[in-house]
A and B are shown apart, each in its own frame.
Chain A
Amino acid sequence: MTTLETLAPVAANGMFTVAWLMIAVPAVSAAVLLLFGSILDRIGHWIAVAAVLFSFSIAACLFAEQLLSAPDQRAVGVVLFDWITIGSWKITAGLLVDQLSILFALLITGVGALIHIYSVGYMAHDERKRRFFAYLNLFIAAMLILVLADNYLVLFVGWEGVGLASYLLIGFWQHKPSAAAAAKKAFVMNRVGDLGLTMAVMSMLALFGSSAFVDVNARAAGLTPFWATTIGLLLLLGACGKSAQVPLQAWLLDAMEGPTPVSALIHAATMVTAGVYLVVRSHAIFETSSVATTAVVIVGTVTLLVGAWIGTSKDDIKKVLAGSTMSQIGYMMLAAGIGPAGYAFAIFHLLTHGFFKANMFLGAGSVMHAMDDDVNMRHYGALARVLPITSITFGMGYLAIIGFPGWAGYFSKDAIIEAAFEHSTLVGVAALVGAGVTAFYMTRLMLMTFFGEKRWREGVHPHESPKSMTVPLIILAVFSVGAGALMNFWIQDWLEPATGAQVREVSLVPGPIGWATLAVVAVGVALSWWLFGSKPVPEIAPVSSNPFTVAGRNDLFGDAVNNTLVVQPTMVLARGLVANDDAIIDVGADGLGSMFAGLSTQTRRLQTGQVRTYALTMTVGAVLVGLVFILSQLG
């Protein structure tokens, strides 16, 4: 297997020296919003929006500068400061602005800015709006650290930072016990993944003496198969946690308890894709271990089917989209696992998914806004006429995700399916089936929400959302349509130096697999229309004994599996420890205590309160002391 070396980054000059401001400004803004308290309640959200727009403008300038410079000058390393120096390890905090990270920075700050603006409208009546925007800024800063870091330790700082922001934002409505529980669940499950990442980074430090991407990439080829596989699998564990891949997928569906802009930004467009970024960034390690890449492919394939399956059976609009997110990230993982043939498509799909999924989540938020925060699609119906902008923009996202020719998802997902078929027929068929199921559940969502007859609850009067919400929707819809065609012929060449991706021929005319995909998608849409469009949708979910439906409604028993395999054994262990504590440690400690209590009860008897007794005691004592003195003199 040939390992394509990545070019060493060139030193920073000009605009690149201020790249750190991209991170610092949102971070400072978050701190200001949190520290200055209610003084900023009225203008705080605009400060946050301005901070993200500032970061976006820097990212855009850097991107423009990269476009203008020669291909081998595009990856720029920015050294910030010496961070840790222990023994022979010297860890420098630095940024790596290369072809891969700049695309992420643009996605994070661009979609992030739109979602900030959307939140101004969405969160307008929330009392803790200032705090919400502070957390969003914190997230942007942490996510930028994650993608711009030039070594794994700095990446880990951002990795934990986004975990914290995700926790704070999922549990933002902390008065709801379900939100608080979901936040804790996300945090704990992410810790499992973080364990993998931490161990991978420590292994790198132990083996290479450095965690910088440059050093790791350069020396990965010399790893023994055992260590390459170990580090690869540990990194995959980290990626599974952050990206909600099987087996650490259960937190993402509950994470929908957070406000909808959070779901759009963190749990669809950016943070959950960090796992894909990690795998692509660590391509040098994965390329030396076929076991690890196979594991990535398996995880991706299983997750894309599981996510799609869950998406088909949910009535909660956000949970359908969450299942869909899992499924789409599964596609990206699959592409990242295929190897050099898939890296560019993984990132391509990640970007287009970032646009269309953020678009649809924000659209779902707009629908919820209109329906008094009801998330049950069985209470929607016929919203196309009352929410024209929302439904049209949502429709653009819908066409993009099912892969309608010309829309963004068509280019990125079809490329992944083709690459999957080249990798192995089994994986290709799974990806193809996933595309059909995606079309099925997204059509179901569209039909139940925007079409059919009204099933609104009493007293609900849907109305289109304010401009601050619809304008971001429109912009994202434009990208959902155009991003695919825009990047299709460009992204592979662009990413080639950073990821070592193999450039493949792409064309606008679908090949045989492309036609097959379109056919499967058409079947999915038609089936969905036959089930949900041609006849009225019942307002209460019909009781079903179909094992597929039952499993889907229960998230494929993900929670049950976790309970049986992890939670219950932990509980048993904890109960055992408590019993041990009660039976042995407590008894011992109590025994010691009661021994002294008994002893002191006896000693207390010496204090009779009789002055004459005390006098006698004193005299006897004095005589004894005198005797000792005299005897010692004699001796």
Chain B
Amino acid sequence: MSPDNYVYLAAILFTIGTVGVMTRRNALVAFMSVELMLNAANLVMVAFALARGNLDGQIATFFVMVVAAAEVVVGLSIIITIYRTRRSTSVDAASLLKL
């Protein structure tokens, strides 16, 4: 089987995610875009694993999903905390750490 279509799909998803991270002000949406990029990468790895007939890519995907889950927990809690104190989830407003 050819992984071409999967790779095209993953490339489209990754591009959407990248553009989303760079353009959206809402932290939640940016976060969703990051997830989209991760999953695009996952899709590529699964597709190639299937094409090559071994499980390496699939196992790597599991690791990515576990790490992503953990990251979501931390990231979401940060976003919620920022929202509670500043009543906004705009990433442009959260620039207090710069000199």
Contacts of A604 in B (CB 8 A): 99
Q: Return chain B residues, CB-CB under 8 Å to A607.
A: 98-99
Residues of A within 8 A of B18 (CB): 619
Dominant secondary structure at the B interface: loop
Please report the C-alpha to C-alpha distance between residue A604 and residue B22 in the assembled complex, in whole angstroms: 21
Q: Are A612 and B99 in contact (CB under 8 A)?
A: no
Query: A538 contacts the other chain (Cβ, under 8 Å)?
Result: no
B23 at the interface (CB under 8 A from A): yes
Question: In the complex, are the beta carbons of A611 and B98 less than 8 A apart?
Answer: no
A604–B97 alpha-carbon span in the complex (Å)? 12
Is A177 close to B, CB under 8 A?
A: no
Question: B95 contacts the other chain (Cβ, under 8 Å)?
Answer: yes
Does A608 lie within 8 Å of B99, measured CB to CB? no
The CA-CA distance from A604 to B98 in the complex, in Å, is: 9
B9 in the interface (beta carbon within 8 A): no
Name the A residues within 8 Å of B94 (CB-CB). Answer: 611
User: Which chain A residue has the least Cβ–Cβ distance from B18?
Assistant: A619
Are A612 and B98 in contact, CB atoms less than 8 angstroms apart? no
Count, chain B residues at interface, CB 8 A = 15
0/1 per residue, B30-65, Cβ < 8 Å to A?
100000000000000000000000000000000000
Say how far A135's CB is from chain B's closest CB, in angstroms: 60
Chain A residue contacts of B91, Cβ below 8 A:
610-612
Nearest residue (CB) in A for B96 is A609
> Does A616 sit within 8 A of B, measured CB to CB?
yes
Contact of A611 with B92 in the complex, beta carbons under 8 Å: yes
Q: Mark A619-631, 1 if CB is under 8 A from B, else 0.
A: 1000000000000
Report the nearest B residue to A609, measured CB to CB: B95
In the complex, what residues of A have CB within 8 A of residue B92's CB? 610-612
Q: Does chain B have a CB within 8 A of A615?
A: yes
A612 and B95 contact, CB distance less than 8 A:
no
Bound: A335/B18 CA distance, A:
103
Interface size on A, residues (CB 8 A): 10
B20 closest partner in A (C-beta): A615
Q: By CB atoms of chain B within 10 A, which of A604, A608, A612 has the most?
A: A612
Distance in angstroms from A600 CB to nearest chain B CB is 10
Contact yes or no, A615 B22, CB < 8 A: yes
Task: Among B21, B25, B30, B97, point to the contact of A609 (Cβ < 8 A).
Answer: B97
Across the interface, do B22 and A619 meet the contact criterion of CB distance under 8 Å?
A: yes
**Residues of chain A lying within 8 A (CB to CB) of residue B96:** 609
* Interface contact A615-B21, CB-CB below 8 Å: yes
Least CB separation from B25: chain A residue = A612
Min CB gap B10→A, angstroms: 15
* Inter-chain contacts of A610 with B (CB < 8 A): 91-92, 95
A612 contacts across to B, CB distance below 8 A: 21-25, 30, 91-92
Within A578-635, the residues touching B (CB, 8 Å) are: 604, 607-612, 615-616, 619
Quote the shortest CB–CB distance from B4 to chain A (angstroms).
Answer: 19
In the complex the two chains form, what is the Cα distance from A612 to B93 in whole Å? 11
Cα-based distance from A608 to B98 in the complex (angstroms): 7
Q: Which residues does chain A contribute within 8 Å of B23, judged by CB atoms?
A: 612
**Closest Cβ neighbor of A604 among chain B residues:** B99
Distance between A462 CB and nearest chain B CB, rounded to angstroms = 78
Fill in one digit per residue for B78-99: 1 if any A CB lies within 8 Å of its CB, else 0. 0000000000000110111111
- Specify the main secondary structure of chain A where it touches its partner: helix
Distance to closest chain A CB from B21 (angstroms): 5
Chain A nearest CB: distance from B52 CB in Å? 19
* B99 shortest CB reach to chain A, Å: 6
Nearest neighbor of A607 in chain B, beta-carbon distance: B98
A588 to B60, CA, bound (A): 56
Most buried by A among B22, B96, B99: B22
A97-129 interface mask toward B, CB cutoff 8 Å, 1 = contact, 0 = none? 000000000000000000000000000000000
CB-defined contacts of B30 to chain A, threshold 8 Å: 611-612, 615
- Alpha-carbon distance A566/B14, docked complex (angstroms): 82
Q: How many angstroms between the C-alpha atoms of A615 and B30 in the bound complex? A: 10
Task: Give the docked Cα–Cα distance between A401 and B91 (Å).
Answer: 100
Q: How far is the CB of B29 from chain A (nearest CB, A)?
A: 12
Near A by CB (< 8 A), chain B positions 66-84 give none
How many whole Å from B74's CB to the nearest CB in chain A? Answer: 16
Query: Which of A611, A616, A619 has most chain B Cβ within 10 Å?
Result: A611
- Complex formed: what's the CA distance from A610 to B95 in Å? 6
Complex Cα spacing A607 to B96, Å:
11
Residues of B within 8 A of A609 (CB): 95-98
In the complex the two chains form, what is the Cα distance from A610 to B23 in whole Å?
Answer: 11
Give A195 to B69 CA distance when docked, in angstroms: 79
Q: Could you tell me the distance between the alpha carbons of A291 and B94 in the complex, rounded to whole angstroms?
A: 90
Query: A611–B97 Cα gap in the complex (Å)?
Result: 11
- Please give, as numbers and ranges, the residues of chain B lying within 8 Å of A616 by CB-CB distance: 22
Q: Which residues of A contact B97 (CB under 8 A)?
A: 609
Contacts of A608 in B (CB 8 A): 95, 98
- B contact residues around A619 at 8 Å (CB): 18, 21-22
Chain A residues, Cβ within 8 Å of B22: 612, 615-616, 619
**Complex contacts, A611 vs chain B, CB 8 Å:** 30, 91-92, 94-95
Tell me which residues across on chain A come within 8 A of B25, comparing CB atoms: 612
Q: Fill in one digit per residue for B1-33: 1 if any A CB lies within 8 Å of its CB, else 0.
A: 000000000000000001001111100001000
Tell me the minimal C-beta distance from A440 to chain B in angstroms: 83
Q: Which residues of B contact A615 (CB under 8 A)?
A: 21-22, 30
**In the bound complex, how far is the Cα of B22 from the Cα of A608, in angstroms?**
14
Q: How far is the CA of A616 from the CA of B21 in the complex (A)?
A: 8
Tell me the minimal C-beta distance from A518 to chain B in angstroms: 94
Complex: how many Å from CA A612 to CA B22?
A: 5
Chain B proximity of A207: nearest CB distance (Å): 69
Instruction: Provide the bound-state CA to CA distance between A609 and B25, in Å.
Output: 13
| Complex Cα–Cα for A184 and B22 (A) | 74
* Complex-state Cα separation, A612 to B91, whole angstroms: 8
Find chain A residues with CB under 8 A from B21 CB.
612, 615, 619
Q: For residue A606, give the distance in angstroms from its CB to the closest CB of chain B.
A: 10
Instruction: For the complex formed, measure the closest distance between the CB of B79 and the CB atoms of chain A, giving whole angstroms.
Output: 12
User: Measuring CB to CB, which residues of chain B are less than 8 angstroms from any residue of chain A?
Assistant: 18, 21-25, 30, 91-92, 94-99
Q: A611-B94, A611-B95, A612-B30 provided; 10 other pairs, C-beta below 8 A?
A: A604-B99, A609-B95, A609-B97, A610-B95, A611-B91, A612-B22, A612-B23, A612-B92, A616-B22, A619-B22
Contact sample, A vs B, 24 pairs, CB 8 Å cutoff: A607-B99, A608-B95, A608-B98, A609-B95, A609-B96, A609-B97, A609-B98, A610-B91, A610-B95, A611-B30, A611-B92, A611-B94, A612-B21, A612-B23, A612-B30, A612-B91, A612-B92, A615-B21, A615-B22, A615-B30, A616-B22, A619-B18, A619-B21, A619-B22
The 9 A-B pairs at the shortest CB distance, nearest first, are namely A609-B95, A609-B98, A611-B91, A615-B21, A615-B22, A616-B22, A607-B98, A612-B22, A604-B99
